[in-house]
Chain A
Amino acid sequence: MHEVVVTGYGIVSALGVGVPEFCRRMFAGDSGISGIRGALVASNFPVAVAALVPRTGLGQPRSLKNSDAGDTPTSWRFAGLATEEAMASLPSEVMVDAIVYATSDGVNFDLLKDSFRNFVVDTFDWDSTRSETCLEFIRSILEQNGNGHVPDESVISINNACVSSNQAIGIAFHRIRSGQWTRAVVGGVDARCNDHNLMNFHLLGALSTAEGSDASSPFSKNRSGFVRGEGAATLILETRQAAEARGAPVLGYVVGYSATSDAYRLTQGRTDVMGAAKAISLALEDAGCAPEQLSAISAHGTSTLINDSLETAAIKKMFGLRAYEIPVVSLKSQLGHSTVAAGAMEAVASLLMLREQKLAPTINYTHPDPDCDLDYVPNVSRPAFLNLVLSNNFGFGGQNSCVVFKRADA
C-alpha cells in the first residue's frame, strides 16, 4: 500500500482564479455570490444571484493562447486554467497514468438552440455532444507539457451529480494507493451557470429565494436553498515515493475515501441518514482513523432546508456527543454550489485549511437552527490544530461520498 500525496492544485472559482487569491478570500470570509439580473439573465428572472467566476481578466489556458476565448468552451477554459496551475510542480518527462475528471459536458439546451438555428449534419460540431472532450483537452495539455499520452481507458469521465469530483479523487486515490497507478490528474469542472440550468434547479425548488450576496446561508435557520456556482479545480495525486523521488512539494495526503447510496429517493436523502453516516464511517475506516482523531469537516452544506439538517443528523449519528466538538465548515456559503465540481473545489479548500492550520468560516450564519446545532465556524475564520479533514458530498439520486485529507507535515 502506497501513501498518496497531493503535489499540485489549481482552482478557478467565484472567489478568484488561482490558489493564492482563493486562499486569501476564503479565509477573509468573502462572498463570491452576486446579483445576476440584468447581466447573465433578464431583470425579471426568478433567480437573483449566482456565484460566477469573474470573467474580467480571466485568461486563456496557455495551451490555447492562440485561440479566441469566445471560441473556447467555458468548461475547457476553467478546467484548463485549473490544470495548468496544478501542473506548476509537474515538469516534463514526469509521466501521468490517468485523468479522472468530473464534468457535466454534453448535449445541453444551448447546443439544442444552436442546432435549430443552423443544422448541417456534415459541419455540426459533433464533439460537443461528447462528455469526454474536456478530458481530452486536459490530456492534450499534459502531452504538450511532455507528461506522456494517457491512454483512452485511463481517461475517465464521471458524472454522478454532486458527488462526482469526490468520486474522481477517491477512485484515483485507491488506484494509486494500490500501486496500479503512480500519478493521476483529478478534479472537476462545472460551467453550466446559465439561464436554462438555473431554471432547471429553480423548477425543482432547490435554489435560494434570497436575493443578496448572503443568499447562501448553510445551517442558518433562514436558509432557503442553494445558490448556483461554477468553477473548476484540479489536483495532482501520486505516490509519496514518486513525489519524493522527483523532489515534488507535498501539499497534503489523501488517506480515505468512501461512496454509498441511500436507495431511498432521487431528490431527498434518507431521513434515518443511514447512507450518509455509513459513508462517513467507511471513509474514516479507509483512512485508518478513529472518529476521535478527526479535526474538522468540510460539509456538503448546500443551504437547503433538508440537506443541512440531514447532514447534521448524519454527523451526530456517526460521532455522538463528539459531534459538538468537531468544527463543520460549508464552503458553499462563499462559493455557491458548483455541483459536479464542488468536491474538487472543496478538496483544495480542505488542503488549504490543513496547510494554514486555520478553519474557513461558514458565512451568512445569522439565525441558529435547533436542527443544526453544531459548531459551523460562523462567519469568521479561526486558527485550529488540524490534522485530518473529512470532505463530504451528497447528491441527487441519494449519493454520498467522503474523502479524508491529512496535513502534509503530520
Chain B
Amino acid sequence: MSRIFWKLSVCPPLNELPASYRYDLYDSNICVPRAAVFPEKNERLVELPDPRAARSLGRAGLLLMAAGLPSQNVIAPFVQEDPFSVGIYCAIEHGPNDFESARQMIHTPPEEFAVTYKSLRSPKQYLKQLPNVPPSQLAIFLGVMGPVNVYQHSRFGCLHALDQAEFDLNAGTVRAALVCSAFSLEDPLLSLRAWRSVPNSMVLCEGAAMMVLTPDGKYINWRAQLPPYTDRFHGIAQDLVMLARSDNDNNDRQSELAMQTSENNSYACEPAVAASASKLAYR
C-alpha cells in the first residue's frame, strides 16, 4: 500500500576504479581486493546536528545519517502532525568492534582483564556496536516517535524492513515509513564475510540509502521489485541502495533532491547536514 515519496542513495562514485582495501590487523595480509569507499574519514563524512552523537556512531551509522538526514523537511509535515505516525525500518548489522583493544588483550590474565579493558575502551565504544543506535539516533534527529524496527539478516534485512513498512502503512500504524540501510567496510570481519559471499568479480562498496514510503492504496511485493545485482555489492544495504538508485532517477536527480532538501531545510537541522549528504550523493 505504498509509494516511494522520496529516496536518496549515498554511494562512492561509480566511475572510480575499485581499489583493494587493506586491513593491517593480522600477521598475514588481509584485504578486500576490489572495494569502493568514500575517501572521507569518519569525522568528515557528515555534519551532525549534534556533533557529540558521532561518538556513538560507527561509519555505517554515519552513512545512515548522510542518507537519512536530508529527508528532514520532506517528512517534517508528517512529524509535525503526529510524530508517532512516522516509523523507521532499518537494516543494519553490528557496528565496528575495537580490534586494537582485542589484540592487546589476547594474553591478559583474568585478574587484569577489567582494569585493562577499562583503560583501552571508551564506554561509547559499546554504543557504536549496537545496531539499534544509528536508527535511534536518526529518530532523535528527525523527531520521529513511531516504531523503530531494526533488522539484521545479512542478506534479507532490507526486504524485512520493506515488508514491515509496507505492512504498517497498510494497517495504518504509520503514515510515513522511513526505510533505510547502511553498510561500511569499517569492520574487517563483516567486510570480508560480505565480500566472500559474492563472486570475486564484484566490487564491495560502502553505501547507504533511505526511502520514504507513504500509503498509496496499492500493495507492493518488494521481493519482486528488487533489482538484479550489478557489479557492485553493498552488503546488507544492497537491496535498498539498488532500489533507491533504480527507476527513472539517475544520480543527478538524487543529488538534486538532496540539494533541495538542503536549501529548503528550516526544520531544526543545520543546513550543513543535508549539504554534506548531498555532496556525498553527487559522487
* Chains A and B form a bound pair: yes
Q: Are B149 and A158 in contact (CB under 8 A)?
A: yes
Q: Could you say which of A44, A107, A199, A203 contacts B190, with CB atoms under 8 Å apart?
A: A107
Q: Are B130 and A396 in contact (CB under 8 A)?
A: yes
Tell me the bound Cα distance from A45 to B111 in angstroms: 7
Q: Are A266 and B133 in contact (CB under 8 A)?
A: yes
* Residues in chain A near residue B145, CB distance under 8 A: 260-263, 274-275, 278
The stretch among B68-76, B102-110, B257-265 that forms the contact with chain A is B102-110
* Residues in chain A near residue B25, CB distance under 8 A: 116, 119
Q: Mark A34-50, 1 if CB is under 8 A from B, else 0.
A: 00000001111110000
Q: Which chain A residue has the least Cβ–Cβ distance from B160?
A: A156
State the Cβ distance, A140 to closest chain B Cβ, in Å.
16
**A-B CB proximity, top 4 nearest:** A397-B136, A259-B147, A112-B102, A200-B126
The reply on A113 being an interface residue by CB < 8 A is yes
Contact flag A113-B148 (CB < 8 Å), given A155-B156, A263-B140, A397-B133: no
The reply on B30 being an interface residue by CB < 8 A is yes
Q: Mark B163-198, 1 if CB is under 8 A from A, else 0.
A: 110010001000000000000000101101100100
Contact flag A159-B131 (CB < 8 Å), given A129-B190, A153-B163, A167-B149: yes
Which B213-248 residues have C-beta < 8 A from chain A?
223
Tell me the bound Cα distance from A320 to B139 in angstroms: 29
Q: Which chain B residue has the least Cβ–Cβ distance from A278?
A: B84
7 A-B pairs besides A41-B110, A159-B130 with CB distance below 8 A are: A107-B190, A121-B192, A131-B93, A171-B149, A199-B114, A261-B145, A396-B133
The reply on A115 being an interface residue by CB < 8 A is yes
Contact flag A399-B148 (CB < 8 Å), given A115-B26, A121-B192: yes
Which B112-159 residues have C-beta < 8 A from chain A?
113-114, 117-118, 121-123, 125-127, 130-133, 135-137, 139-140, 142-157, 159
Q: Are B132 and A153 in contact (CB under 8 A)?
A: no
Contact flag A261-B148 (CB < 8 Å), given A42-B111, A152-B155, A204-B126: yes
* Residues in chain B near residue A396, CB distance under 8 A: 127, 130, 132-133, 136
Tell me the bound Cα distance from A260 to B152 in angstroms: 20
Q: Are B167 and A132 in contact (CB under 8 A)?
A: no
The reply on A161 being an interface residue by CB < 8 A is yes
Q: Could you say which of A108, A112, A153, A260 contacts B99, with CB atoms under 8 Å apart?
A: A112
State the Cβ distance, B122 to closest chain A Cβ, in Å.
8
Q: Are A259 and B140 in contact (CB under 8 A)?
A: no
The reply on A117 being an interface residue by CB < 8 A is yes
Q: Are B147 and A132 in contact (CB under 8 A)?
A: no
The reply on B278 being an interface residue by CB < 8 A is no
Q: Are B105 and A113 in contact (CB under 8 A)?
A: yes
Q: Are B117 and A196 in contact (CB under 8 A)?
A: yes
The stretch among A20-28, A83-91, A173-181, A359-367 that forms the contact with chain B is A173-181
Q: Are B160 and A153 in contact (CB under 8 A)?
A: yes
A interface, by DSSP: helix, strand, loop or mixed?
mixed
Interface size grouping (class) on chain A:
35 or more
Tell me the bound Cα distance from A205 to B126 in angstroms: 12
State the Cβ distance, A36 to closest chain B Cβ, in Å.
12
* Residues in chain B near residue A164, CB distance under 8 A: 150
Tell me the bound Cα distance from A43 to B110 in angstroms: 9
Q: Mark A112-129, 1 if CB is under 8 A from B, else 0.
A: 110111011100001001
State the Cβ distance, B144 to closest chain A Cβ, in Å.
6
Tell me the bound Cα distance from A161 to B94 in angstroms: 12
The reply on A306 being an interface residue by CB < 8 A is no
Which residues of B come within 8 Å of A, CB atoms? Answer: 25-26, 28, 30, 56, 83-84, 87-88, 93-94, 97, 99, 102-103, 105-106, 110-111, 113-114, 117-118, 121-123, 125-127, 130-133, 135-137, 139-140, 142-157, 159-160, 163-164, 167, 171, 187, 189-190, 192-193, 196, 223
Most buried by A among B87, B155, B160: B160
Tell me the bound Cα distance from A267 to B30 in angstroms: 36
State the Cβ distance, A74 to closest chain B Cβ, in Å.
17
* Residues in chain A near residue B156, CB distance under 8 A: 152-153, 155
Q: What are 13 A-B contacts defined by CB distance under 8 Å?
A: A42-B110, A44-B114, A46-B114, A107-B189, A121-B192, A131-B153, A153-B159, A164-B150, A203-B126, A260-B145, A266-B140, A396-B132, A397-B136
Q: Are B167 and A106 in contact (CB under 8 A)?
A: no
Q: Which chain B residue has the least Cβ–Cβ distance from A170?
A: B147
Q: Are B113 and A42 in contact (CB under 8 A)?
A: yes
Contact flag A171-B140 (CB < 8 Å), given A161-B132, A195-B113: no
Q: Are A113 and B106 in contact (CB under 8 A)?
A: yes
* Residues in chain A near residue B94, CB distance under 8 A: 106-107, 131
Q: Are A45 and B113 in contact (CB under 8 A)?
A: yes
Q: Are B155 and A261 in contact (CB under 8 A)?
A: no
* Residues in chain B near residue A65, CB distance under 8 A: none
The reply on A327 being an interface residue by CB < 8 A is no
The reply on A29 being an interface residue by CB < 8 A is no
Q: Which chain B residue has the least Cβ–Cβ distance from A274?
A: B145
The reply on A130 being an interface residue by CB < 8 A is yes
Tell me the bound Cα distance from A196 to B97 in angstroms: 12
Q: Which chain A residue has the least Cβ–Cβ distance from B79?
A: A263
Tell me the bound Cα distance from A113 to B171 in angstroms: 46
The reply on A157 being an interface residue by CB < 8 A is yes
Q: Are A119 and B26 in contact (CB under 8 A)?
A: yes
State the Cβ distance, A314 to closest chain B Cβ, in Å.
14
